[in-house]
Amino acid sequence: MENWIDTYSMMVNLKPHAVDKRKGVLIGFNVNIDKIIEINPMIISKIISSEAFDQTDLTKNPPSYIESVVDFFLCLFHSIKHGKADEVLTNSQELSNWIEKTFEIKETKIGGQAGIIANLYSTLGLKQVLLSLPVLDNNLISLLNSNILTLSNSDTGYSINKISRKDDPIEKPLVHYIFEFSTGTYVIGNQKIDCNRANRFILSHDEINTKLKFNVGFLDYCGEFLSEYSLAIISGFHLIDRKMNPSLSFYDVIKPVETMLKKWKLTTPNLCLHMEIASTKDIELRKTIIETLFPLVDSIGLNEQELMSFIEVISSKLTDNLRESMGSVLVFKALNEILNRYPNLRIHFHYLGYYLILSKPIEQRKAIIRKQGLLMSSLLAAIKAEGKEITSLDEIQSASIDISKEGLEDIKQLQEHLETTYSIKNNLLQNGIVHSSSFSLIGVPTIVVKNPKVIVGLGDLISSISIFYETQ
């Protein structure tokens, strides 16, 4: 325990503000408005009792698409029951109006992985954060940091400018309702649901990102500016919706992005492409994402639910095993299966008690930097979870370093597996770095925040800080 406290303390003293903030970062594609709603057993009990429907229906299996209040509760309670993060789409304005009228909205802020990461990077002082906005909507723009850049087009071509407000509002829905649920016993009629892990459920009413809208200037104009950028982060593919694209296959929707990424890699071979994974319901969409994008990107970031769903495309047996237990050895086997199929990937897995990054073998110097990036992301995630604003990398000095005992045990079990299976002698538990002839693995136990005040966007922060630190 003391060893990892010392390791974190050493990271705090490394003066992380010395990273190069002049290098540019490209970010796309999902940007939306998040409306945060806090719920607990008392709030839900009050709302349920005021609604006129059969409460026994609220324990059935949830639908894959939300069209009514009952559908909403089915999905919400499924997420609460399992203490897991989830996101489901709706195209019902009536339901959206009911949500606005029924629940108290705690906060409205920028949402979408691309929007959250762009705001974070800009707030931390990066000079060139270039964001692909799906639409130029004033409500959206007002929630973004004013120093963020975007591409503007005119009759004479494209130019890069700071985001500015436009006169024409976009009336199509672009709102994601984030229901942050607390632990406790939720009573539904004569049934009870025990929630042992606070998390969040997202209801997305979004007719923009479901079509994977992006600024085409990023394809047409990239040859003029791309050399100034060292990192690109892409996301939002999980929102592609069959109903919003009735005449197109999933591949048809993704193909323009595939074309763009190929051009980016051709234009700037050293550009690091990181893709942030999110909960993706449709297995056909998951398969299309894997087959189309995994060969093109250099890095992916995902949590336990996302790993479980995406590994299903590759190995149903591993998915079944993970459903029974999220043990670190089973997680490693699933990550390694992905790496065996796509050896080009740096695979970043973040979980409640530990983070792992698995890739093909790398030099020890790069492994140390990669480990430092994980430590940095853990420190900042702890600060954000406490409800504090992050305005500088130097704020890691204020983090309380309470190491996850569960995370330490998970890493210990994984180390024993590595010793037995791969004859690896260097100790993952003590050093956080192990190498074999086929892979390099970096792992750190995380910092525990006992009563987190913020959970939305933590995964995006963890992945984006790690890849930023490593590449910059």
In single-letter form, the type of residue at position 412 comes to K
Spatial distance between the Cα atoms of 141 and 143, rounded to a whole number of angstroms: 5
pLDDT at 57 exceeding the cut of 70: no
**Which comes out higher in pLDDT, residue 469 or 22?**
469
What is the mean pLDDT of the segment spanning 439-462?
88
Lookup: tokens for 331:
């997680």
pLDDT at 131 exceeding the cut of 80: yes
**Which comes out higher in pLDDT, residue 35 or 61?**
35
SS3 assignment, position 317? helix
pLDDT at 410 exceeding the cut of 80: yes
pLDDT at 302 exceeding the cut of 70: yes
What is the mean pLDDT of the segment spanning 449-456?
78
pLDDT value of residue 28: 93
Q: Give the chain's mean pLDDT.
A: 90
SS3 assignment, position 392? coil
Phi and psi angles of residue 154, each rounded to the nearest 5 degrees, phi first: -145, -175
pLDDT value of residue 33: 95
pLDDT value of residue 168: 61
Residues 216-249: pLDDT tens digits?
888 888 888 999 999 999 999 999 999 889 999 9
Spatial distance between the Cα atoms of 203 and 177, rounded to a whole number of angstroms: 5
pLDDT at 1 exceeding the cut of 60: no
pLDDT value of residue 56: 63
Q: What is the DSSP letter of 453?
A: S
pLDDT value of residue 223: 85
SS3 assignment, position 49? helix
pLDDT value of residue 55: 67
What is the mean pLDDT of the segment spanning 16-33?
82
Q: Is the dihedral of CA 70, 73, 79, 85 positive or negative?
A: positive
pLDDT at 191 exceeding the cut of 60: yes
> 191: which strand partners?
188
> Going along 216-353, which residue ranges are E strands?
229-234, 272-276, 299-302, 346-350
Which single residue is written with the structure tokens 């190498």?
435
What is the mean pLDDT of the segment spanning 310-339?
92
Which single residue is written with the structure tokens 């530990």?
354
Spatial distance between the Cα atoms of 200 and 454, rounded to a whole number of angstroms: 10
Strands 272-276, 299-302: pairing is: parallel
What is the mean pLDDT of the segment spanning 243-261?
94
Distances 408 to 13, 225, 424 between C-alpha atoms, Å = 23, 44, 18
Phi and psi angles of residue 25, each rounded to the nearest 5 degrees, phi first: -130, 130
pLDDT value of residue 416: 94
pLDDT at 166 exceeding the cut of 90: no
* Contact by Cβ (8 Å): 110, 34: yes
pLDDT at 17 exceeding the cut of 60: no
C-alpha atoms less than 13 angstroms from C-alpha of 105 in its C-beta half-sphere: 15
Closest among 239, 229, 228, 234 to 215, alpha carbons compared: 234
Residues 4-14: pLDDT tens digits?
999 998 888 87
Closest among 471, 31, 19, 50 to 273, alpha carbons compared: 471
What is the mean pLDDT of the segment spanning 17-40?
87
